[in-house]
Amino acid sequence: MADDQEPTGRTSVELFAGGGGLAMAVHRAGFRPLLLNEYVKHACDTLEANGAVPRGEDERIPEAGEPWPLVRGDVRDLKMGYLQGEVDLLAGGPPCQPFSLGGVAKGDEDKRNMFPEMFRAIREIQPKAVICENVRGLLRPSFKPYFDYILRELEFPFEERDPAATWLQHDALLRTKAQQGTTDSLERYRVFKFEVNAADYGVPQIRNRVIIIAFRGDLDIDETILHDAVKKTHSEEALLHSLSTGTYWERHAKVPKHVRDHVSKGVQSELSITNDKLKPWRTLRDAIAGFDGEREPLPQIKWDKLDRVQYDDMPLDHIGWPDARIYPGHTPNVLDRPAKTVKAGVHGVPGGESVMLTDSRVSGLKSPSGQRYRHRYMTVRETARVMTFPDEWRLSGPRGEQMRQLGNAVPVLLGEVFAKAVAKVLDEVENRT
């Protein structure tokens, strides 16, 4: 794949791989992928464009250094028993479609819910650990009882649900099971839930998610290692103070003075007394500029080049797009804050999530100063940076499909934090034994 880091001897399987965000994260944490599965054509094309290869019908475990094997198609048709006992980490973000309050109460579940396939994979593979990522909406009051049921299913994945039973009936059985038996079973998992904002881990984006981690019960893990490894590293308070003191602008010395003054003035009302020792949140400007020297800055998109054309002198997918608009309910990203949540959207370009204000000013009759800041659509490459994808990662399909893959992905940096935490926990278990 695009990241040529040599992994350790640990292994992984990823379901619902999408455009590869979590797969990259898991690989960077030292896991060698034995299998990837994805259903959507353009996402599969993206994985292959970055080095994955079709597995075919041969249920063979790849050797170290071989390309990542990809199975295209419905996860419900995927057989994984040949991997039993070979997998350290099972990862994925299973689609979990909205449930109405009335529907959940009646046990009327959406057939697009793919959590049951994660549980089936656990039964077939028996991995040492599991990572699931999903939207924060799973925690809303109307859904929480069902989400708690999902967590109990993950704790007892081998307690298969009777097809004739409602989720409430199955949940009652799981609750009884939790009060009985041992916790160190090969067929029971210890489950941990984390409510996270990706910005708190250095991702230049406000992205609220739920990450679920589970460890097989026989491993006797030290959970303090897990909690220490996933502590926040960045904060909004630190960003505000860096804007106020000017240390932020040391990284962006070429920004016009009128922009610096405008942004810094707006910060004063948000400042609070804090002993925060964390790093500042990263901003959209940080991402475009290259994360303080980690990457080359992306060139500016010229206003006469908002024409859907990939120019030879511009980075891959750094393409101007016309007709960006701002109106109530459709507000843009600002450069000196983390970007808004990147969303998949119906057409890949939803709301104001992909529109940004720039430093360029023009006359604006409705502005008190007589000038306004110009806006445009973010490019796919800018959006990929907001998702902390590497610049060399090739996204397949038309622009809308590329944006959809990014909106559905796990930010690479966020996934890497949690995958490395899993690796640390497993390392401690092995070193102790």
Please check whether residue 173 is in contact with residue 160, taking contact to mean a CB–CB distance below 8 angstroms. Answer: no
Q: Three-state SS for 135?
A: strand
Instruction: Read off the pLDDT of residues 184-211 as tens digits, 9 standing for 90 and up.
Output: 788 999 999 999 999 999 999 999 999 9
Distance CA 420, CA 426 (A): 10
Q: pLDDT band at 107, cuts 50/70/90? A: very low
Nearest by Cα to 317 from 274, 237, 270, 381: 381
Q: Which pLDDT score, from 0 to 100, does residue 138 have?
A: 83
Q: Is 44 a catalytic residue?
A: no
Q: Which pLDDT score, from 0 to 100, does residue 141 have?
A: 85
Please check whether residue 200 is in contact with residue 234, taking contact to mean a CB–CB distance below 8 angstroms. Answer: yes
Q: Which pLDDT score, from 0 to 100, does residue 350 have?
A: 46
Q: Three-state SS for 31?
A: strand
Distance CA 209, CA 136 (A): 5
14-20-25 Cα angle (round to 5): 75
Please check whether residue 146 is in contact with residue 140, taking contact to mean a CB–CB distance below 8 angstroms. Answer: no
Please check whether residue 383 is in contact with residue 344, taking contact to mean a CB–CB distance below 8 angstroms. Answer: no
Residue 271 corresponds to which tokens in the numbers above?
């400042």
pLDDT higher than 60, residue 7: no
Q: Which pLDDT score, from 0 to 100, does residue 144 have?
A: 87
Strand-pair category, 31-38 with 10-15: parallel
Instruction: Report the predicted TM-score, pTM, of the whole model to 2 decimal places.
Output: 0.92
pLDDT higher than 50, residue 105: no
Mind listing the domains of the chain with CATH numbers?
Answer: 10-232+409-432 (3.40.50.150), 234-398 (no CATH)
Mean pLDDT score, 139-165: 92
DSSP 86-99: --SEEEE-------
Q: Which pLDDT score, from 0 to 100, does residue 378 have?
A: 96
Q: Which pLDDT score, from 0 to 100, does residue 9 have?
A: 86
Residue 290's φ and ψ, nearest 5 degrees, are: 105, 25
Residue 368 corresponds to which tokens in the numbers above?
């008190």
Nearest by Cα to 401 from 325, 338, 343, 347: 347
Nearest by Cα to 12 from 26, 28, 22: 26
CA 260, chain centre distance (Å): 31
Q: Which pLDDT score, from 0 to 100, does residue 97 have?
A: 63
* Percent of all residues in the chain with a pLDDT value above 90, rounded to a whole number: 73
Residue 228 corresponds to which tokens in the numbers above?
């220490």
pLDDT higher than 50, residue 2: no
Give the position of tokens 């796919």: 380
Give the position of tokens 């980690």: 294
Please check whether residue 11 is in contact with residue 402, taking contact to mean a CB–CB distance below 8 angstroms. Answer: no
From the list 47, 96, 221, 335, the catalytic residue is 96
CA 171, chain centre distance (Å): 29
pLDDT higher than 70, residue 3: no
Q: pLDDT band at 239, cuts 50/70/90? A: very high
Nearest by Cα to 414 from 133, 17, 224: 133
Beta strands in 45-114 (DSSP E): 53-54, 69-72, 89-92
Mean pLDDT score, 385-397: 97
Q: pLDDT band at 140, cuts 50/70/90? A: confident
Q: Which pLDDT score, from 0 to 100, does residue 399 have?
A: 94
Query: Exposed, middle or buried: residue 268 (CB in 10 Å: 0-12, 13-18, 19+)?
Result: exposed
Lowest mean pLDDT among 41-45, 84-88, 182-186, 308-312: 182-186
Beta strands in 308-416 (DSSP E): 355-363, 371-377
Distance CA 45, CA 172 (A): 43
Q: Three-state SS for 212?
A: strand
Please check whether residue 247 is in contact with residue 209, taking contact to mean a CB–CB distance below 8 angstroms. Answer: no
